[in-house]
Amino acid sequence: MDTAIQQKVNTWLEGSFDQPIKDEINKLLKENPTELADAFYRNLEFGTGGLRGIMGVGTNRMNKYTVGMATQGYGNYLKQSFPGEQVKVAIAHDSRNNSRFFAETAANVFAANGIKVYLFESLRPTPELSFAIRNLGCKGGVVCTASHNPKEYNGYKAYWDDGAQMVPPHDKNVIKEVEKIASVDEVKWSGGESNITIIGKDMDEEYIKMVKSLSVFPEVIERHKDLEIVYTPIHGTGIVLVPEVLKQYGFSRVSIVEEQSKPDGNFPTVIYPNPEEKETMSIGLKKAKELDAAILLGTDPDADRVGIGVKDNHGEWVLMNGNQTAVLAFNYMIEARKTKGIAKPNDMVITTIVTTGMINRIAEKNGVKCYNVLTGFKWIAEMIREKEGKENYVIGGEESFGLMIGDKIRDKDAVSAVAILCEMAAYEKDKGRTLFAKLLDLYVEYGFYKEDLISITKKGMDGQQQIAAMMESYRAQPPKSINGSTVVQLLDYQLQKGHNLADGKEWTIQLPKSNVLQFILEDESVISARPSGTEPKIKFYFSVNTKLASPSEFDKVNKELDEKIRAIISDMKL
């Protein structure tokens, strides 16, 4: 074994670590030294969103010690940032294995440092954590979840006082403080238990009241309260609140997918607990078909992402992608508020640079400001903070199955999204059409936008270097044309520069630095390249659009746009 790795292993065997941990290390030394080396070859990185990794012993794993050290560093920074104030934090967790243990570990460390802790009594959705931070006047918060990752993973998301995940300078500053904690002996593990308050039902009621206030047309729901809805929490936290929220909205025929209703960190019915995946939603699709439902909805383990199934123009059940869901939700909140007479002149919506441009078209035509920010809901939250008191935030979202409706929370919220999507289905039923028919009507009105995404993994130790070289090549020598269409603009978010390739004009992009490149083609196609910050992966996002003369032409034009995206991918040799 590498000397540096062996030294780390010895530190754990000889240090102040629990005996069962040492026993597990000794077992791995004998039976699986390769796995042991992987568990210790580096420290699990506390990134801008917190921790995420495989659970187990070692510095490169999610365990009591990595969570404790992260919490000590985060707690130190909170106390530095709010000197002379009583620092309060809220803590929640999802249904994953060890999530409760990690949440209690974090609570004990914060409390031992004199920080007031509000710990949820049991599992709760991530968006309720964001809401609780604001509701209780906390300076920060933590949710223990690995979102939609496989069952072997867990994570630790850190939040700031506005209920959003941290942005500069706090994200980088917290990382520095976490990195200063060199030993588990620097962590205050216990002694402040009186600083912990258990919360639950009262906060649930406040949160549900907030979600209910987002409803635009409760009278339409009353007319269609028997709308057939199928919902799956995919063994996660959604079961705690979603059925009750739908009941409070007035829906009386909500069928839960029983096989996936029980919270279970082993996610026994799925490979990935991700509502984006057809396999994950297959049991729900089957039930929706049996019941001839109007809509199927699924939420991931921490209930911040939502998947939606509907019947298409041939009456076949299909899953909508994140862009389609966002288009329907944004349009509904703009259109319904206008129809109800509650739209404001300073209404605004927020989307991200890799989400469909169709949202910008809808907002523009309806006289609503639309801001485009970097990928991630922390940037949507930052824009709300910047515009607070001047503009009225209505809805935000991105292509990765996330929506954030109303400004009482500052992270993506699948609980409120489920409620609004069901209200939207009732609203369209009131007009005698389905959600899919509404989507086709929007394509006719605003143009048919079609998106796709591919993720390329470059394996091996030099994977990151290969991706960096790929991005550098695109920067230095951008393609003159892609699939026969001239590249008219190159947007480089790392250099914060826009470049018109025809006349050489340049301008400054007013967004924080991010390693993203976008090619804007003459035919309005958009290709975005975005490397992962944590894995040897690079994502390419494709958006193409054309006119749709009538809904009857959807199948033909849909096929043409599919072929166009395939041709772009082929031309770029991806």
**What are the pLDDT digits (tens) for 478-488?**
999 999 999 99
- What CA dihedral angle connects 60, 62, 68 and 71, to 10 degrees? 100
- pLDDT tens for 221-234 read 999 999 999 999 99
The predicted structure's pLDDT at residue 502: 86
Which pLDDT belongs to residue 460? 65
* Amino acid in position 366: N
Mean pLDDT to the nearest integer, 77-105: 98
- 207-215+225-446 topology per CATH: Alpha-D-Glucose-1,6-Bisphosphate; Chain A, domain 3 (3.40.120)
Confidence of residue 461 (pLDDT cuts 50, 70, 90): low
pTM for the model stands at 0.96
Q: How confident is the model over 293-342, as pLDDT tens digits?
A: 999 999 999 999 999 999 999 999 999 999 999 999 999 999 999 999 99
Q: Which helix (DSSP H) or strand (DSSP E) does residue 343 occupy?
A: none
In angstroms, rounded to a whole number, what is the distance separating the alpha carbons of residues 368 and 366?
6
CATH fold of 448-571, please?
TATA-Binding Protein (3.30.310)
Q: Is it the case that residue 464 has pLDDT exceeding 90?
A: no
pLDDT of residue 47: 84
For residue 105, what pLDDT is reported? 98
CA dist 572 and 489 (Å) reads 17
List b or e across 126-155, with b for residues whose CB sees 16 or more CB atoms inside 10 angstroms: bbbbbbbbbbbebbbbbbbbbbbbebebbb
**What is the predicted pLDDT for the residue at 459?**
76
Answer whether the bond into residue 169 is a cis peptide, omega within 30°.
yes
CATH number for the domain whose boundaries are 42-199: 3.40.120.10
On whether the CB atoms of residues 539 and 353 are closer than 8 A, the answer is no
Q: For residues 428-438, give the mean pLDDT.
A: 97
User: Which residues form the catalytic set?
Assistant: 147
CB 426 within 8 A of CB 434: no
